[in-house]
Structure formats: C-alpha cells, structure tokens
Structure 1
Amino acid sequence: MTKATKLLTALPPPQRQHLMTLAREVSFPEDTRVFEAGGRADRFWVIRSGSVSLDQQVTTHQRVTVASLSAGDLLGWSWLFPPYRWDFGAEAFSPVRAYEFEAQPVLKLCEEDPALGLSLVRIVAEILAHRLEMTRGKLMEQYAIKRRGAF
C-alpha cells in the first residue's frame, strides 16, 4: 500500500498559504462524532494532532472502522462533489486539533485561482484513491472474519 498523501504538504507553498487564509483552528474531544454518513458536507478538516476513525454503517447496529486518520490527514472530501453528503461517519479516537475549512469560501477561492483549484482536486483524488484501497482492504478483512465465524 502506498503512503497516504498529506493535503497541506502536497500543495506548493504559495497555494498552501493562499488556502490557509481560510483556515480556522478547532478541536474535538475524544469520542466526539465529527459527522455522520448522509449528513450535509459543507466543510473539511486537516488534522493537526490526535486521530479520527472513519466508519461505515454495515447494519443498523454495527459500524466498521475503515480508516484511521492522524496528523496531516484530510478529514472529509464529500464537500467537493455533489450531492455534498458525507459518505462515511467520523469519530475522534483521541483529542483532536485540526484546521477547519468551510467549503463555500474554498470553492470560491478555487474559482479565483484555477491553479489552486486544479492542485486541490488532484490531491483530493489521490487521497480518495488511497482511501478506497484502504476501505476495500478493511471490508474484505471484515468479510473474511465473518466467513471464518460461519463454519
């Protein structure tokens, strides 16, 4: 598996500085639900410290953790694509500090600075490809565990 791309370090310095003008520092206590799958995706975060688990509801009573995110990782990408709904849920696994970005000002900035917009979309696509690979692996692992338990 390839190493995960870190959004802020992947952006060229002038573009990163431009994006950071929209950042707001936030924190989440341990065990806080940051967002639920299906909810309105109108922002994203870059984790500064702590860890967040991404989960998928597989039954009405069971969530499967599909990824763990830590410092430098992008939390939330659904703000970039219609219908702007979270595909996963997220929960702070430990106390988390993060930069928060509201989607609308970032999208406006991307329209004003097309080079930043293209860089951001490319980096998010790379992150998505990596997350898809991780999620597939986790779900296959869960399936294998269930199958072993069936015998």
Structure 2
Amino acid sequence: MKSMSQLLHEHPFFSQMEAEHLDFIANCGENHIYNAGEYIARENAPADHFFLIRDGQVAVECYVPNHGALCLQTLHSGDIFGWSWLFPPYLWTFDAKAMDEVHAIRLDGKCLREKCESDPQMGYQLMKRFARIISDRVKATRVQLMDVYGQQRPPLEGEK
C-alpha cells in the first residue's frame, strides 16, 4: 500500500513540489470514497477540507433561482477542488457532488493552514498552485455563465 506522501507525489497538483514539503503535508490527508450522488461539499457549510480527485467525476454546482442546480464545471481524476478552507469565514461557495464513485484524498484545511504558517516557503508554493487553479476556474465559470445566459461581450472601441 502506498503512503500518503507517495499518493500526494503522484497527483498533478503537487507535481515537482519538494519531497520534504509533501512529507510535511501528508499527515493532513486521508483517503476517502464518495458514492454517486453524494454531496462532498455544500454551499455555505463549513469548508474544512480540500480534495485531490484520484478517480471519478465531481460536479461543481451553484443554485440559480428559478433554474435549480447549475453545473459550472465537471472535475475528473487529477483535478482538485476546494479552496474555501484558505479564506475566512471558511465556508463553501459552491456545492460539489460525486457523479459516480469518487476516490479522493481529503486534506484537512486547519492542519494545512497551520503548516503554511509554520513553513512560509512551503505555504508560498502551495498558494501559487492554488492561485493558478482559482484563476482557471474563474475563467471557466465565466464562460459557462455566458453560455447559460446567452450574454455576449460588448464590442470594444473600434470593433464592429
């Protein structure tokens, strides 16, 4: 059986992170399985973890009045989700639902925050990775919402 440190090392999110940092983070993690249809996170609930998807698909959803649940993005093996553990008040901003059986590494947010505080270099490396993911997800959400609401970008000055 692989150690948590080895599992972290294999996940793309932690690609090329120093082994000593992965060893340091490893005791914050645990393997977890979610069944199809099970909510992994609920909007406005305490955000105590972030997740590395090892296998399966997760729908990131938000509730839209008069529309119901809107799937903003589908995440797959090799993806991560959950950055709400980073920012007070530590509440989920979206729902996350297992679309099939999901095997994930669940990392404890409080444990990670404490480790980032005690090792600022490691914390900086982790924050750079999250910043890239957050930026990508915001772009994907914007595209999804433009599609749902049929909005088009107004022409820029000089465009016809």
TM-score bracket for the superposition, by shorter chain length = 0.7 to 0.9
Larger radius of gyration: 2
Deviation at 1:78, TM superposition (A): 0.3
Unaligned runs of 5+ in 2: 1-11, 152-160
**1:148 aligns to what?**
none
- Unaligned segments of structure 1, at least 5 residues: 1-5, 146-151
Q: How does 1:1-151 map to 2 (within 5 A)?
A: 6-9=12-15, 11-59=17-65, 62-144=68-150
Deviation at 1:16, TM superposition (A): 2.5
Amino acid at match of 1:50: G
Task: Report the TM-score when normalising by structure 2.
Answer: 0.82
CA contact (8 A) 1:37 1:89 kept: yes
Q: TM-score, normalization: structure 1?
A: 0.86
Kindly provide the amino acid, as one letter, of the partner of residue 54 in structure 2: R
Question: What SS does structure 2 have at the residue aligned with 1:71?
Answer: coil
Counterpart Cα distance in 1 of 2:134 and 2:18: 19
- CA deviation digits over 1:37-80, x for unaligned, max 9? 11111111111110101011111651111111111211211000
**Is the deviation greater in 9-18 or in 136-145?**
9-18
Deviations 1:103-139 (A, max 9, x none): 1111111111111111111111110000000000111
CA change 1:67–1:11 in 2 (3 A) is farther
Amino acid corresponding to residue 59 of structure 1 in structure 2: P
Identity, % of aligned positions? 29
- Tell me the amino acid that sits aligned with residue 108 of structure 1: E
Q: With CA pairs under 8 Å and 6+ residues apart, which has the higher RCO, 1 or 2?
A: 1
The RMSD of aligned alpha carbons is 1.8
Q: Which amino acid aligns with 1:22?
A: C
